[in-house]
Amino acid sequence: MSKSLKMKKTPRQLGFAMPPEWAPHAGTWLSYPHNPTTFYAKMDSARNSYVEMIGAVAAGETVHVNVNDDDTQDELEARLKKKGIRKNVVIHQFPTNDAWCRDHGAIFVKQKRTGEVAATCWVFTSWGGKYPHILDQQIPYKMAGYLKKKYFATGLAFEGGSIDVNGAGVLLTTEQCLLNPNRNPHLDKKEIEGAVKDYLGVDKIVWLGEGVAGDDTDGHVDDIARFVNRETILAVYENNKKDENYEPLKENYEKLLKATDCKGKRFAVVKLPMPDPVYFEEGRLPASYANFYISNAAVVVPTFDCDQDLAALETIRNYFPDRRVVGIPASDVVVGLGTFHCLSQQIPS
């Protein structure tokens, strides 16, 4: 059983910090898609891509999957069997409102000296109260309990997709999300920055501006810019000046070119193309190659059946020569307004 760490010292003061995603995992945690108002008629196709992701990740680590009930578990097990996925999958009947475990799951930190892993449990408000979320709010504690990890209850509205870390003290985020009054209106920028540093053990925050069009999370950074090592950031860039993403992404890219690490050194910033626009029922969807997930054995990259797929895969492949970089169709997954990074949460080893 896990227990809360009710201490005067913060995780940062206790030597805890969030490892980068490419650091070794003990596992990956997911929540199975089930909400018909999220994926609509694309549910079957979205689940097919989801199970492909499970297979790629399970090749190198344990995959934990939340399901709501016996029927959903049976349905998932049938899909796994059909794909020949028989190992490294643990199914939990931990009911959720939706599938976005990156945002409603615990965010894990690791003690730098002892290697102890603990969970930080934030308040999930479904991106400022946009959708039902009572079941989702319980997931961080259930994860910590099953894994027998101590946890820090932060009391702050926050989502894992809003940040990315390089493992060397730097965290990326956006003002559109973390400073949105629908999250923590009682805190100013300095206070929010201090809380994020204290709970995730980082020393410096790089603030970007707005996210991609169609993103209902208010600008999560995992659709915009991602660390691939301590010194390098992949930043999505739109070349079409008439596209609504052109100006916001250009501004973010220019900010990243000026950003520095904790020692004052500038990052290598590499452009990652944007896919062709993806629409559903006339609405623009937040399709982005930056929503890839780095697991022990594979990097799972969303693809969108357009000319930019190969260039995006090749760009990402350059930074992960020790992992299989696999593109999985995501045009139907993104109908839910997220893809593979949004669906997953890593557990450090």
Active site residues: 342
Contact between 286 and 213 under an 8 Å Cβ cutoff? The reply is: yes
Phi-psi region of 228 (alpha: psi -120 to 50; beta: other; left: phi over 0): alpha
Radius of gyration of the chain from its Cα atoms, rounded to whole angstroms = 19
Q: Contact, 134 vs 97, CB < 8 A?
A: yes
Q: What is the secondary structure of 265-330 as a DSSP string?
A: PBPEEEEEEPPPP-EETTEE----TT--EE-SSEEEEEE-SSTHHHHHHHHHHTT-TTSEEEEEE-
Phi, psi for residue 100 in degrees, rounded to 5: -90, 75
The distance from CA 315 to its chain's CA centroid, rounded to whole angstroms, is: 20
Q: Find the largest Cα–Cα distance for the chain.
A: 54
**What are the DSSP E strand ranges found in 67-178?**
89-92, 107-111, 117-123, 151-157, 164-165, 170-174
Strand partners, 300: 293, 326
| DSSP H/E element including 16 | strand 16-17
User: Amino acid identity, residue 28?
Assistant: T
Handedness of CA 234, 238, 244, 249 (dihedral sign): positive
List the beta strands (DSSP E) in 102-224. 107-111, 117-123, 151-157, 164-165, 170-174, 204-208
User: Which residues sit opposite 120 in a β-bridge?
Assistant: 107, 152
Q: Is 156 helix (H, G, I), strand (E, B) or coil?
A: strand
Tokens of 46: 């979205």
